[in-house]
């Protein structure tokens, strides 16, 4: 029977908050910000903070799809390549085929989703391991992008198109940050307010039990990969707009940053637990670390070592908590 | 020196729970000491302390009159205490021989002496009178066969104290007999055994003394010869259970068929399975482990691919190619293994209960209606008397009986016509069993029809309207259960007999 506890005391609520998977991440983020603001005077300026937000937006958006996939116990290594292909195809459709930007954007999203569909179908129907399928799919879209462009950046985009990557709302909020917030809001809704989200978590927890409960597991697993392709394409659109050219070699290594953001955000790499809020905090940690170390003049090579150590630390804590 | 083990004032606290409270008793050298108690009574915690998994907050353990402290399972094992858990610790991809010799492989000239190990394993299994395929990975063997390997592995290490945690929960009657023979042999050789069980018959069959725990406290230690079933049940639950199998009022109509299974074949070479299920009945499915009962029901709900089948629901033909299709037409399966197939252990009680009915819990046809969800879940938790501190509790923290009720609650939220229970009371205690039976009766009253697979013959006889007996993948008999059927008759059909003559068997 459920005990009647309508009047939760403050301490109970605090305990509940501390138990949330993203709490530790958030605490870590605050500590990091505190350290950075002590060591660097420029860190806590609004200009710098907005800059950080803009810098993380591309990785943070890719990490949304990655969160869905990892929650189902999967992984998507193809996001960087899918992002590059979506970006170059969009650039091509505007520069070479003369499409209008809206159509071109839809085309890019379609290309990204299509590769998600291919990944998801191979994993669900052919029952191939996600890591292998998406490893192979790191090559195919990249190859197609290089094939079409001959390896060169594709420029000649209409100047109005730059608004997505370089524009500001009310002269203060960068458009990429705005897009990021919208993507996160939708993802939050999908994961927390729709049956879909429950199924995604449940599949990561025990796929067979979910299947025997009469739920179409394959459909939802495929959907997770489609979301991943879709968000990779969204980032591809922003990057293309920012650079005003389609870059076939864009996004190399981005899958690792996205996975890092998800794991730093407290999502279990084995699936089943985690949160989308955690992911954005994870992406922020990576961004602040990057930015702060830059401000302090730390060599980029050292920064990579730092990043690696922090990821190991995050996984250590999350596996310890699970026990 | 009469006592091999003395347990003194053991107390173990977990956050928010006092799992063991000042428990003291002795184990005599060479006895089979049965440890009994409902789920959550603290049996497993105590065994984990004896085997070094947990350390007590208070209290002492003496082994051969010397104080011992086990900081990890290895230390306990070195001292001579080994334990066979309910959940297997076999490596699924290794075969029986490799599992039995895991960690103590026989090595000759620096390489594995495979032939020698196989020979020794064969001898061991022969002694136990078990016939197991030694060349396939154990994951391809039946649950019972896997358990036998586990037991063989443990007894092949020379131990002074062997702890058996409900070893018969998954065994058939014959296999149980074999195990009991083995236990008797071990006892003759001087092994002391602590035997955890829910089955009262077993206590009388093999137990010398019995200790009962309830809610983490010691209730009593008695010579088995001084006890009877009622006394033990009273010790366990602190009350009498009058009605082990509660009766129900629903009268089935022999012409009112809900489900028809026609020509079901998993493979082309299998024999066809045909049967029907009447509205409001419980159709018990008996048979030995490996007789194809679980496979049959998995085929019906589309969890496994089949060569051919026709399914009619209320006279209408339906296509079922997946469990989702089955749910669509109103058939649900409560699977054999709660933990690996029935529950998502990391999710809350609430989320487990509502998972199959989320589509009916929408507002604006799109968003989850969390308020209604909570109301329905609270209702089911109360109706089924699920004991949980809150509906947000992770389901892995519940006891076995309450976990099973969560699986049941999941299906009660959907609109099913037929529910298939595969071993619904495996590994749960007497009190919770009765509650499960009552819930089944309640389902019947609500117009649901039930197929119940069970390896416990008293349960099949006590609960079913009709009993279907399977042998080697085919239906060997369908019997009306009007009180004249005996366990012997079911076993006769389960072992392949075709025409049972009750008079003859009585003469024998």
Q: Is the pLDDT of residue B13 over 80?
A: yes
Instruction: Please tell me the distance from the alpha carbon of residue A245 to that of residue A323, in angstroms, as a whole number.
Output: 48
SS3 of B152-202: HHHHHCCCCEEEEECCCCCCCHHHHHHHHHHHHHHHHCCCEEEEECCCHHH
Residue B170 confidence class, pLDDT cut points 50, 70, 90: low
Instruction: Please tell me the distance from the alpha carbon of residue B447 to that of residue B445, in angstroms, as a whole number.
Output: 5
Q: Is the pLDDT of residue A209 over 80?
A: yes
Q: Which of A65-74, A166-175, B42-51 has the highest mean pLDDT?
A: A65-74
Looking at residue B375, its pLDDT comes to 92
At residue B377, φ and ψ (nearest 5 deg) are -65, -45
Q: How does the average pLDDT of chain B come out, rounded?
A: 84
- Nearest-CA distance from A1 to chain B in Å? 5
Residues of chain A found within 8 Å of residue B356, distances taken between Cβ atoms:
213-215
Note whether A1 contacts B366, CB cutoff 8 Å: no
- Domain-wise residue ranges, chain A: 62-253+266-274
Instruction: Please tell me the distance from the alpha carbon of residue A23 to that of residue A192, in angstroms, as a whole number.
Output: 18
- Following DSSP, what letter does each residue of B317-328 receive, concatenated? EE---SHHHHHH
Q: What is the pLDDT of residues A169-180, one digit of tens each?
A: 888 889 999 999
Looking at residue B283, its pLDDT comes to 94
Note whether B341 contacts A202, CB cutoff 8 Å: no
- Nearest-CA distance from A192 to chain B in Å? 8
Instruction: Please tell me the distance from the alpha carbon of residue B235 to that of residue A128, in angstroms, as a whole number.
Output: 53
Q: Which of A76-80, B136-140, B472-476, B501-505 has the highest mean pLDDT?
A: A76-80
**Rounded average pLDDT over A187-206:** 92
Q: What is the pLDDT of residues B245-279, one digit of tens each?
A: 877 776 777 788 999 999 999 888 888 999 999 99
Note whether B390 contacts A5, CB cutoff 8 Å: yes
Residue A191 parent element (H or E): helix A175-193
Q: Is the pLDDT of residue B317 over 90?
A: yes
Looking at residue B198, its pLDDT comes to 67
Mapping DSSP to helix (H, G, I), strand (E, B) and coil, where does residue B379 land? helix
Mapping DSSP to helix (H, G, I), strand (E, B) and coil, where does residue A315 land? helix
Residues 6+ apart with CB under 8 A from B472: B291, B292, B496
Pick the residue from chain A with its C-alpha nearest to B299: A212
Q: Is the pLDDT of residue B508 over 50?
A: no
Q: Is the pLDDT of residue A7 over 60?
A: no
Residues of chain A found within 8 Å of residue B367, distances taken between Cβ atoms:
193-194
Mutation for testing the A interface, residue in B16, B335, B347 having most A CBs under 10 Å: B347
Residue A79 confidence class, pLDDT cut points 50, 70, 90: very high
Residue B506 confidence class, pLDDT cut points 50, 70, 90: very low
Mapping DSSP to helix (H, G, I), strand (E, B) and coil, where does residue B32 land? strand
Q: Tokens at residue B374, please?
A: 């909570």
Looking at residue A144, its pLDDT comes to 94
Looking at residue B99, its pLDDT comes to 87
Looking at residue B473, its pLDDT comes to 85
Q: Is the pLDDT of residue B16 over 60?
A: no
Which residues is B348 bridged to in the sheet?
B394
Please, how many CA atoms are within 13 Å of residue A166, restricted to the half-sphere of its CB?
A: 10
Least confident stretch, A296-300, B13-17, B76-80, B495-499: B13-17
**Rounded average pLDDT over B459-471:** 90
Looking at residue B129, its pLDDT comes to 63
Least confident stretch, B129-138, B200-209, B313-322: B129-138
Looking at residue B239, its pLDDT comes to 57
Instruction: Please tell me the distance from the alpha carbon of residue A301 to that of residue A308, in angstroms, as a whole number.
Output: 11
Judge contact between B261 and B273, C-beta under 8 A: yes
Closest residue to B359, CB basis, from A1, A195, A202: A195
Residue A186 confidence class, pLDDT cut points 50, 70, 90: very high
Instruction: Please tell me the distance from the alpha carbon of residue A175 to that of residue A62, in angstroms, as a whole number.
Output: 16
Work out the burial of residue B508: count CB atoms within 10 Å of its CB; fewer than 13 is exposed, 13-18 middle, 19 or more buried: exposed
Judge contact between A48 and A249, C-beta under 8 A: no
Residue A299 confidence class, pLDDT cut points 50, 70, 90: confident
Helices (H), B257-322: 293-300
Please, how many CA atoms are within 13 Å of residue B181, restricted to the half-sphere of its CB?
A: 11
- Nearest-CA distance from B373 to chain A in Å? 11
Q: Is the pLDDT of residue B169 over 90?
A: no
Looking at residue A131, its pLDDT comes to 94
- Nearest-CA distance from A318 to chain B in Å? 15
Note whether A209 contacts B342, CB cutoff 8 Å: yes
Looking at residue B507, its pLDDT comes to 43
Judge contact between B206 and B212, C-beta under 8 A: no
Closest residue to B324, CB basis, from A202, A209, A214: A214
Q: Tokens at residue B359, please?
A: 């589509």
Looking at residue B502, its pLDDT comes to 62
In 3D space, the residue among B278, B242, B207 whose CA is nearest the CA of residue B480 turns out to be B278
Q: Tokens at residue B332, please?
A: 């649900």
Q: Contacts by B113-122 with C-beta closer than 8 Å and gap 24+?
A: B121/B96, B121/B97, B121/B152
Q: Tokens at residue B87, please?
A: 């959940």
Note whether A212 contacts B303, CB cutoff 8 Å: yes
Looking at residue B428, its pLDDT comes to 76
Cα distances (Å, whole numbers) of residue B83 to A171, B121, B163, B490: 70, 20, 4, 34
Judge contact between A274 and A70, C-beta under 8 A: yes
Mapping DSSP to helix (H, G, I), strand (E, B) and coil, where does residue B493 land? helix
Note whether A194 contacts B368, CB cutoff 8 Å: yes
Looking at residue A282, its pLDDT comes to 92
In 3D space, the residue among A60, A2, A24, A18 whose CA is nearest the CA of residue A268 turns out to be A24
**Rounded average pLDDT over B145-153:** 78
Looking at residue A322, its pLDDT comes to 56
Looking at residue A231, its pLDDT comes to 97
Prediction ipTM score? 0.81
At residue B186, φ and ψ (nearest 5 deg) are -60, -40
Residue A35 parent element (H or E): helix A23-39
Residues 6+ apart with CB under 8 A from A1: B381, B382, B385, B386, B387
Which residues is B331 bridged to in the sheet?
B418
Q: Is the pLDDT of residue B80 over 90?
A: no
Size of interface A-B (CB pairs under 8 A): 90
Q: Name the interface residues of B facing A (CB cutoff 8 Å).
A: 301, 303, 322-324, 326-328, 332-333, 335, 340-347, 351, 354-356, 358-359, 361-362, 366-368, 378, 381-382, 385-391, 410, 414
- Domains, chain B, in order of start with CATH, read 3-237 (3.40.50.300), 246-330+417-502 (3.40.50.300), 337-414 (no CATH)
What is residue B358's DSSP assignment?
G
Q: Is the pLDDT of residue A244 over 70?
A: yes
Instruction: Please tell me the distance from the alpha carbon of residue B290 to that of residue B185, in angstroms, as a whole number.
Output: 27
Residue A25 confidence class, pLDDT cut points 50, 70, 90: confident
Residue A81 parent element (H or E): helix A79-95
Q: What is the pLDDT of residues B81-116, one digit of tens each?
A: 888 876 667 888 888 888 888 878 888 888 888 888
**Rounded average pLDDT over A192-196:** 91
Count helices and strands in chain B by DSSP H and E runs? 17, 24
Residue B321 confidence class, pLDDT cut points 50, 70, 90: very high
- Nearest-CA distance from B355 to chain A in Å? 7
Q: Contacts by B173-181 with C-beta closer than 8 Å and gap 24+?
A: B173/B455, B173/B457, B173/B491, B174/B288, B175/B144, B175/B148, B175/B289, B176/B202, B178/B128, B178/B129, B178/B130, B179/B151, B180/B205, B180/B206, B181/B129
Which residues is B405 bridged to in the sheet?
none
Q: What is the pLDDT of residues B331-353, one digit of tens each?
A: 999 998 888 888 999 899 999 99
Note whether B323 contacts A195, CB cutoff 8 Å: no
At residue A83, φ and ψ (nearest 5 deg) are -60, -45
Helix B430-445 / helix B229-237 crossing angle, nearest 10 deg: 90
Q: Is the pLDDT of residue A4 over 50?
A: no
Q: What is the pLDDT of residues B411-428, one digit of tens each?
A: 887 888 999 999 988 777
């Amino acid at each position: 029977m459920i005990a009647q506890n309508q009047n939760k005391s403050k301490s109970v609520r605090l305990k509940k908050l501390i138990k949330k998977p993203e709490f530790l991440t958030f605490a870590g983020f605050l500590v990091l910000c505190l350290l950075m603001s002590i060591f660097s005077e420029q860190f806590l300026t609004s200009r710098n903070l907005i800059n950080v937000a803009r810098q993380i937006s591309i990785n943070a958006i890719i990490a949304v799809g990655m969160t869905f996939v990892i929650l189902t116990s999967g992984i998507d290594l193809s996001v960087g390549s899918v992002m590059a292909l979506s970006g170059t195809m969009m650039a091509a459709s505007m520069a070479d085929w003369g499409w209008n930007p809206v159509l071109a954007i839809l085309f890019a999203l379609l290309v990204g989703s299509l590769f998600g569909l291919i990944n998801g179908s191979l994993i669900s129907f052919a029952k191939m391991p996600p890591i292998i399928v998406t490893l192979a799919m790191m090559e195919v879209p990249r190859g197609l992008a290089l094939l079409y462009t001959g390896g060169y950046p594709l420029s000649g985009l209409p100047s109005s198109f730059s608004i997505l990557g370089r524009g500001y709302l009310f002269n203060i909020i960068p458009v990429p940050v705005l897009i990021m917030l919208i993507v996160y809001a939708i993802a939050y809704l999908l994961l927390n307010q729709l049956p879909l989200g429950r199924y995604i978590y449940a599949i990561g927890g025990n796929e067979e039990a979910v299947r025997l409960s009469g739920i179409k597991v394959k459909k939802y697993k495929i959907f997770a990969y489609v979301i991943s392709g879709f968000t990779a394409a969204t980032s591809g659109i922003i990057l293309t707009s920012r650079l005003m050219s389609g870059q076939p070699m864009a996004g190399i290594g981005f899958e690792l940053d996205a996975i890092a953001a998800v794991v730093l955000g407290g999502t279990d790499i084995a699936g089943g637990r985690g949160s989308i809020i955690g992911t954005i905090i994870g992406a922020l940690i990576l961004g602040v670390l990057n930015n702060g170390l830059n401000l302090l003049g730390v060599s980029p090579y050292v920064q990579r070592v730092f990043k690696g150590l922090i990821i190991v630390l995050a996984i250590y804590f999350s596996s310890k908590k699970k026990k | 020196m009469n006592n091999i083990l003395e347990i003194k004032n053991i107390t173990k606290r977990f956050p928010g729970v006092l799992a063991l409270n000042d428990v003291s008793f002795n184990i005599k050298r060479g006895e089979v000491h049965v440890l009994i108690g409902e789920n959550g009574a603290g049996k497993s915690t105590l065994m984990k302390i004896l085997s070094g998994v947990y350390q007590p907050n208070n209290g002492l353990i003496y082994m051969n009159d010397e104080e011992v402290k086990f900081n990890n399972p290895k230390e306990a094992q070195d001292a001579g205490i080994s334990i066979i858990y309910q959940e297997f610790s076999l490596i699924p991809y290794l075969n029986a021989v490799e599992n039995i010799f895991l960690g103590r492989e026989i090595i000759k000239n620096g390489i594995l002496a495979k032939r020698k190990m196989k020979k020794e394993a064969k001898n061991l299994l022969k002694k136990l009178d078990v016939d197991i395929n030694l060349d396939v990975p154990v994951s391809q063997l039946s649950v019972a066969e896997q358990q036998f390997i586990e037991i063989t592995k443990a007894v092949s290490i020379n131990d002074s104290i062997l702890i058996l945690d409900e070893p018969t929960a998954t065994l058939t009657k014959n296999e149980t007999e074999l195990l009991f023979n083995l236990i008797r042999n071990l006892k003759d050789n001087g092994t002391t055994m602590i035997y955890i069980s829910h089955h009262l018959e077993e206590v009388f069959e093999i137990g010398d003394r019995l200790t009962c725990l309830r809610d983490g406290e010691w209730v009593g230690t008695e010579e088995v010869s001084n006890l009877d079933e009622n006394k033990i049940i009273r010790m366990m639950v602190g009350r009498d259970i009058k009605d082990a199998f509660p009766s129900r009022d629903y009268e089935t109509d022999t012409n009112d068929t809900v489900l028809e299974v026609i020509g079901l074949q998993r493979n082309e070479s299998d024999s066809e399975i045909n049967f029907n299920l009447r509205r409001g009945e419980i159709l018990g499915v008996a048979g030995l482990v490996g007789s194809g009962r679980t496979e049959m029901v998995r085929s019906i709900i589309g969890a496994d691919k089949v060569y051919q089948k026709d399914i009619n629901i209320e006279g209408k033909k339906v296509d079922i190619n997946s469990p989702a299709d089955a749910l669509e037409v109103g058939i649900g399966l409560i699977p054999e293994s709660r933990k690996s197939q029935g529950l998502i252990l990391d999710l809350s009680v609430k989320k487990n209960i509502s998972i199959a009915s989320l589509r009916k819990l929408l507002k604006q046809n799109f968003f989850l209606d969390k308020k209604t969800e909570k109301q329905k879940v609270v209702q089911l938790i109360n109706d089924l008397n699920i004991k949980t501190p809150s509906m947000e509790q992770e389901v892995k923290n519940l006891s076995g009986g309450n976990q099973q009720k969560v699986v049941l609650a999941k299906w009660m939220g959907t609109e099913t016509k037929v529910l298939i229970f595969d071993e619904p009371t495996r590994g749960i205690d007497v009190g919770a069993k009765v509650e499960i039976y009552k819930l089944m009766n309640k389902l019947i009253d609500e117009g649901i029809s039930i197929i119940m697979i069970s390896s416990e013959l008293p349960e099949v006889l006590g609960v079913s309207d009709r009993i279907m007996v399977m042998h080697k993948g085919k239906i060997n008999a369908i019997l009306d259960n009007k009180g004249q059927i005996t366990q012997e008759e079911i076993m006769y059909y389960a072992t392949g007999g075709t025409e049972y003559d009750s008079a003859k068997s009585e003469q024998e």
